[in-house]
């Protein structure tokens, strides 16, 4: 598509408004009719971390577009025996047409993209989760028709990869975002600086949710943080999305979102997760369609 050419999708920071909106427009088109634009193409999926939505949605999206996905957990390839990501990237570029990666560190993601001669899509790293954030903003746009004037309140771990990518997405699209979190779980200072025009940090959850159109939360304990479980729950307990907190939204029309997996009774209560304000399952469903658009854009036959 004219104006939204990209080689990789590593960070939404690297994208302009036109590119993001182009993905949303393409998503709408592919929902109506899916071309076989990946016919004969092979996608390698390198996953150092377990996955439900990212893996399933990318595999199905690849299949629907006519391609074939190969799932490659770290233990099954030479990465598990010490081969560098650079060497892996060079070899894979000889075999496959694109790579979807779910890695432990952002540095690894950057190295993979640096050495790969085929498109690399960030399926999650410790800093960013761009495909999730793009799907989230697409879901919000479908609900409100227009993102102008929308306010997102994010509660909990402001230093999570999801929060960081949401901040970049909101900044790129001109959407207001308020993050409420304890001081030690604040977003990275650089990302706060990069997005300061549209993103604001507060400490009080009530302040964040007042007037919000979207109340968003994420798991408090991510992969690799299990040892900190008790401490994280203790420090984040006041940021739980509950019915009592939602009374402070003071708007009739608003929605609750969660990127999943959810831990009922921790970051969100069961009645809110399953309640009438929840669009969480719609949000998960849209991962498939937005990622189909990303694959078509980066790898589809022109």
Residues labelled as active-site residues: 102, 129, 132, 218, 259, 287
- State whether 36 and 49 are in the same domain: yes
C-beta of residue 258 within 8 angstroms of C-beta of residue 160: no
- State whether 277 and 195 are in the same domain: yes
pLDDT of residue 115: 97
- State whether 141 and 252 are in the same domain: yes
Q: Average model confidence (pLDDT) for the chain? A: 95
- The average pLDDT across 76-92 equals 89
Least confident of 182-186, 223-227, 297-301: 223-227
pLDDT of residue 1: 43
- State whether 186 and 89 are in the same domain: no
Q: Is residue 67 part of a domain?
A: yes
Number of Cβ within 10 Å of residue 2's Cβ equals 6
Q: Is residue 244 part of a domain?
A: yes
- State whether 193 and 227 are in the same domain: yes
The two tokens of residue 255 are: 């929605």
Specify the pTM: 0.96
- The average pLDDT across 175-185 equals 98
CATH at residue 261? 3.40.50.1370
Q: Is residue 2 part of a domain?
A: no
pLDDT > 70 in the chain, percent = 97
- The average pLDDT across 224-250 equals 91
Q: Which domain holds residue 25?
A: 12-128+286-299
CA atoms of 60 and 139, how far apart (whole Å): 19
Q: Which of 122, 67, 115, 132 is nearest to 99 (CA)?
A: 122
What's the number of domains the chain is made of? 2
Say yes or no to pLDDT of 3 above 50: no
């Amino acid at each position: 598509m004219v104006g939204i050419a990209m080689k990789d999708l590593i960070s939404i920071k690297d994208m302009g408004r036109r590119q993001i909106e182009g993905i949303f427009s393409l998503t709408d088109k592919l929902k109506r009719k899916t071309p076989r634009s990946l016919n004969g193409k092979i996608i390698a999926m390198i996953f150092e971390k377990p996955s439900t939505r990212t893996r399933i949605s990318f595999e199905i999206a690849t299949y629907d577009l006519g391609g074939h996905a190969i799932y490659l957990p770290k233990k099954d390839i030479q990465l598990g025996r010490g081969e560098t990501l650079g060497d892996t990237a060079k070899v894979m570029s000889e075999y496959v047409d694109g790579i979807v990666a779910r890695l432990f560190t952002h540095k690894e993601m950057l190295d993979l993209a640096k050495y790969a001669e085929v498109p690399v899509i960030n399926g999650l790293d410790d800093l960013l989760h761009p495909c999730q954030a793009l799907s989230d903003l697409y879901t919000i746009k479908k609900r409100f028709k227009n993102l102008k004037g929308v306010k997102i309140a994010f509660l909990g771990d402001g230093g999570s990869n999801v929060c960081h990518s949401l901040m970049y997405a909101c900044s790129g699209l001109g959407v207001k975002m308020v993050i409420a979190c304890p001081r030690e779980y604040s977003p990275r200072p650089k990302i706060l600086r990069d997005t300061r025009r549209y993103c604001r940090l507060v400490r009080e959850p009530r302040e964040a949710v007042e007037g919000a159109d979207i109340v968003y939360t994420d798991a408090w304990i991510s992969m690799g943080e299990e040892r900190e479980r008790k401490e994280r729950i203790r420090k984040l307990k006041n940021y739980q999305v509950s019915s009592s907190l939602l009374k402070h939204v003071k708007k009739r029309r608003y929605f609750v979102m969660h990127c999943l997996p959810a831990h009922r009774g921790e970051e969100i209560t069961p009645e809110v997760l399953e309640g009438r304000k929840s669009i969480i399952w719609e949000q998960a469903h849209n991962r498939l369609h937005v990622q189909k658009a990303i694959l078509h854009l980066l790898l589809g036959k022109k």
